Amino acid sequence: MAGNVEEMVAEADRDRLICRSDSGSGEDSLDSLYSRLPLTPSLSPRKRTTSQSRSEPPLLRTSKRTIYTAGRPPWYNESGTPFKEAFVIGLCGGSASGKTTVANKIIEALDVPWVVLLSMDSFYKVLNKEEQELAAKNEYNFDHPDGFDFDLLIHTLRKLKKGKSVKVPVYDFNSHSRRKDWKTVYGANVVIFEGILAFANKELLKLLDMKVFVDTDSDIRLVRRLKRDISERGRDIGGVIKLYNKFVKPAFEQYIEPTVQLADIVVPRGGENFVALDLIVQHVHSQLEKREITVRAALASAHQGQPLPDKLSVLESTPQVRGMHTIIRNKDTSRDEFIFYSKRLMRLL
């Protein structure tokens, strides 16, 4: 009887949007859940060779603006130390559940200039010759935790969270290998990380400020996967169905679906659920606003109690100085005039 009740509660939770006021799950509850989930085994460190990277072009162009996903160099606070860490959103869900669509809709709705979208697909392990042969015969399990390089993934996300630049591998699904040229990504206000096993590693989970599970019907996911793998990845329909039945569906039931309990928000129907997307955007905006207000307050009071340098001289506010300030601060001032009056003001100093 108790087992039936638990199943009903779990099913009801998946059918509605779940919002928790606190995004942290708590160390005790996290340990309790992970003790029941068949998660990633510890991976031995291995050598990696990174190559020269190319700059990542803008990802998303809307009718109003271009949102850059190559990020920006880190900002600094009033004491000269790096600015507060980026807000990291983790998107988890089954294969072809619409995670990338949800991520792009969040990026567009956030309306912030610097956003990084990091896909777990970039961190598949490099296959050896034997594994390459298995992959060619649709016998390699790409949906198992062992198929991902979690060490590199955690290292990359940790650097992005700190606002530092990092090189991200580019995975080729046709050859099942990493391309020679990696892409360079910089820090940002918001980092969106999406992947089928985004919640399946404890260290990775600690880096996420907000955890979102995209819940889409299994039939819809299968249809989407068929269309995507055949048109974009050069697979045949028989191979796609074979992989789905042998690896994708069992992996979802064993590794992905149980982690819905770790999510702060569950989004049924993926990118079509505008109510859930709006809630996510509102929460992120509130978090960014809190951080901005904190920094502004610190900057406003940073000078208080600090002695002025002996060599500091204050320029007298004469009509000439006020007039030049008026011209310099006018948004309609031409470039040549701005430079001319700025140089005149500097000569007075």
Tell me the per-residue pLDDT of 287-340, one tens digit each, with 9 for 90 and over: 888 877 565 666 667 667 777 777 777 888 999 999 999 999 998 999 999 999
- Superfamily of domain 13-41+48-297 in the CATH hierarchy: P-loop containing nucleotide triphosphate hydrolases (3.40.50.300)
Q: Are 279 and 268 in contact (CB under 8 A)?
A: no
The C-alpha atoms of residue 207 and residue 201 are separated, in whole angstroms, by: 10
| Mean pLDDT, rounded, for 117-139 | 91
Q: Is 291 exposed, middle or buried (0-12, 13-18, 19+ CB in 10 A)?
A: middle
DSSP 227-244: HHHHHHS---HHHHHHHI
Domain ranges of the chain: 13-41+48-297, 319-348
Please name the residues in contact with 113: beta carbons below 8 A apart, sequence gap of 6 or more.
67, 68, 189
The C-alpha atoms of residue 193 and residue 96 are separated, in whole angstroms, by: 15
Task: Give pLDDT, residue 80.
Answer: 57
Tokens of 284: 């992120």
The C-alpha atoms of residue 301 and residue 222 are separated, in whole angstroms, by: 57
Task: Give pLDDT, residue 187.
Answer: 77
Is 60 exceeded by the pLDDT of residue 16?
Answer: no
The residue with greater pLDDT, 156 or 187, is: 156
Q: What is the DSSP letter of 89?
A: E
| Most confident option among 110-114, 194-198, 281-285, 286-290 | 194-198
Q: Are 184 and 70 in contact (CB under 8 A)?
A: yes
Tell me the average pLDDT of the chain: 79
Is 90 exceeded by the pLDDT of residue 232?
Answer: no
The residue with greater pLDDT, 205 or 303, is: 205
Tell me the pLDDT band of 155, cut-offs 50, 70 and 90.
very high
| Mean pLDDT, rounded, for 12-20 | 45
The C-alpha atoms of residue 183 and residue 227 are separated, in whole angstroms, by: 27
Tell me the pLDDT band of 87, cut-offs 50, 70 and 90.
very high
Task: Give pLDDT, residue 310.
Answer: 77
Task: Give pLDDT, residue 235.
Answer: 82
Tokens of 116: 């990084």
Give the closest residue to 248 by CA, choosing from 147, 141, 145, 174. Answer: 141
| Mean pLDDT, rounded, for 279-294 | 83
Q: Cα angle vertex 317, ends 316, 323, to 5°?
A: 135
Q: Are 115 and 69 in contact (CB under 8 A)?
A: yes
Task: Give pLDDT, residue 333.
Answer: 93
